[in-house]
Amino acid sequence: MSGYPYRLLTAWVAALALAWLAFSSPWNVGLNLLLGTFALALALLAIVIVTRHRRAQQRASQPVLQALNATLDMLPGDIRRNTPLILVVGDAHGAPARAFGEALVTITDAAIWVRVDDPTRLAHVAAALRRWRAGQGPDAVAYLAAADLARDAAVQDAGLRRWRSAIGESSRALGYAIPVCVAVYMADSTGMPDTCPWFGISGTAPLQAAGLPTPIAWRLQQYGQAAMPSERESRMLRAARLDALARWAADALLPALGESQRDGYRHGRPARVSAFGVTATAGVPAADSLYASYVAKITALAHASSTGRPDAQGIRYPLPAALIQGIAQQPVRRALPLALAHAFAWLALAFCAAAAASAWQNRALVARVMQDMARYRAIGPEHDAARVDALQAIKRDRDLLDGYARTGVPLRLGLGFYRGTAFLTPLNALIAGYQPPAPPPATIELDSLSLFRSGSATLAPGSNRVMFGALEMIKAHPEKRVLVAGHTDATGAPAANLRLSEARAASVRDWLADAAGLPPTHFAIQGYGDTRPKAANDTDAGRAANRRVEITLVPDCRDTSRGDRTPPGRSACSFQ
């Protein structure tokens, strides 16, 4: 794999996000669908952007790659990896064109030189060359500047900042800070027969502009002193002008490329300048260039040219092969291991998110079950309706946990965080321990006129037939006590009515106790007189309904463990 698989990794991240929403999300289905749609749309948009960027990269780098392939056809196959590859850029005055001519690629013994004229294409070409070299990116960027052709400081500064931004974008595309070599040329009319060497510094560490002129001046001094006596004056003059050139370049070129500026955020981070050098080429220096103005300020040297533009026809700039010797060759950076590492990192992140969601949902499940259990326990038996509602919630919890135990815990609750199994036993115990409330007491109502004569508490002949139903009910529930309550209408004095109702209840109690074979203590009597009417007493029908005897079965309220006994003639429980 020669290029980083951005589209494949984007699809992988989208698949992880959709899987998390489908199997681990704690949110509702509607929100999960909305988020899934958004994630899918975002992934498709990213793939479209990467595809368009890749096509633009191919269009920008196609001429360079074609020239490279045509040039390297006759060379050994390993040359693309074993030979340094340098991207050559330059000022707007055409310094790279003077070094390359019409070609886009030049191969020397020192390196493969690839010319890029447009700053917007530099990042595309750099990324394409990294794929062409099977993961080994360009080793450096060489910035070529012709000092005698620069006449406008604003134009020069703007061009430097554009290349600085392009180099920063290329470093981001390649994944490393690409080293920069700054090579500066000047026209020399001294007529020296030898070829001028490069004077500069090259290394792996970034260079500081303020410290560069001094070591270069020392080397230039040695260069001038080593000349033959007949050539010493001309060589010393060349050395002096090269020293001035180095100082001018350190002041005018390097700060815009390699040092932090106030507008650094607008033009990208500083370039990593690792090599710098100056040289002289044959030609006529221009008296109106920025470099000439700088020399005039610091020296008394005169120029041998007129104020017109120097003739550059036939002048070929040498490539700075000597300056790149100290720049280390870039290692091979395979895209596949990096992509696999990123894919694994996203997988680990998705697993952590799934684990966090599982822990959160398990905590919510445990809190809900415990809350339902506590709510059921807090409701007393006297509030049976609320207790039944709480019991239904407990049954739903039990059924849910039992389903997980039988069919398996879902992924959103799994991953080692599930704690629901421990709650099955207490839930089943609460469900099994529920006891419905006792049914309301069974009551039989007897008409007093069918039992007694008016104003009498003695049972009338034949009244026993009326009480057979009550007798059968008492025999069917021997474990329950019997309450016999007498009632009268409002005719007569209330005190007399109260005594009459209690006497009638006692008569019925005595007959039932004898007929059922139960002790009198099994019964309780209560006389209410006219205090609890069923109907209004102002009509004959209402008064007839109020004259009655009620026989009711009630639970035995005695605490037999303490030997409690209800005295004869007293109520076994508290009746109101």
> Tokens representing 41?
């749309």
Question: Mind spelling out the 3-state secondary structure of 433-462?
Answer: CCCCCCCCCCEEEEEHHHCECCCCCCECCC
Identify whether the C-beta of residue 212 lies closer than 8 Å to the C-beta of residue 202: no
DSSP string, 388-428: HHHHHHHHHHHHHHHHHHHH---TTT-TT---GGGGHHHHH
For residue 561, the tally of other CB atoms under 10 A from its CB is 6
Q: What angle do CA 268, 274, 280 make, to 5 degrees?
A: 110
Q: Does residue 473 contact residue 442 with C-beta atoms inside 8 Å?
A: yes
The tens digit of pLDDT for each residue in 424-448 reads 999 999 999 998 877 766 788 888 8
Per-residue pLDDT tens over the stretch 378-414: 998 878 889 999 999 999 999 999 999 999 999 899 8
Q: What integer pLDDT is reported at residue 457 of this predicted model? A: 86
Mean pLDDT calculated for residue range 300-318: 58
- Other Cβ atoms less than 10 A from the Cβ of 563: the count is 7
Under 8 Å between Cβ of 147 and 248: yes
**CA atoms of 107 and 112, how far apart (whole Å):** 5
Residues 269-296: tens digit of each pLDDT:
789 999 999 999 988 888 889 998 888 8
3-state secondary structure of 278: strand
323: DSSP letter: G
Residues forming a β-bridge with 202:
275
- Residue 11 predicted with pLDDT over 70: yes
> Tokens 């946990």 identify what position?
401
Question: Tokens in use for 101?
Answer: 């001519």
Q: What is the arithmetic mean of pLDDT over 497-518? A: 91
Instruction: Tell whether pTM > 0.75.
Output: no
Report how far residue 232's alpha carbon sits from residue 128's, in angstroms, rounded to the nearest whole number: 49
334-346 per-position pLDDT tens digit: 888 889 999 999 9
Task: State the architecture of 443-562 in CATH terms.
Answer: 2-Layer Sandwich (3.30)
Q: How confident is the model at residue 300 (pLDDT cuts 50, 70, 90)?
A: low
Rounded CA gap, 147 and 293, in Å?
11
Helix (H, G, I), strand (E, B) or coil at 231: coil
CA gap 422, 401 in Å, rounded: 10
Residue extents of the structural domains in the chain: 1-69, 75-331, 338-432, 443-562
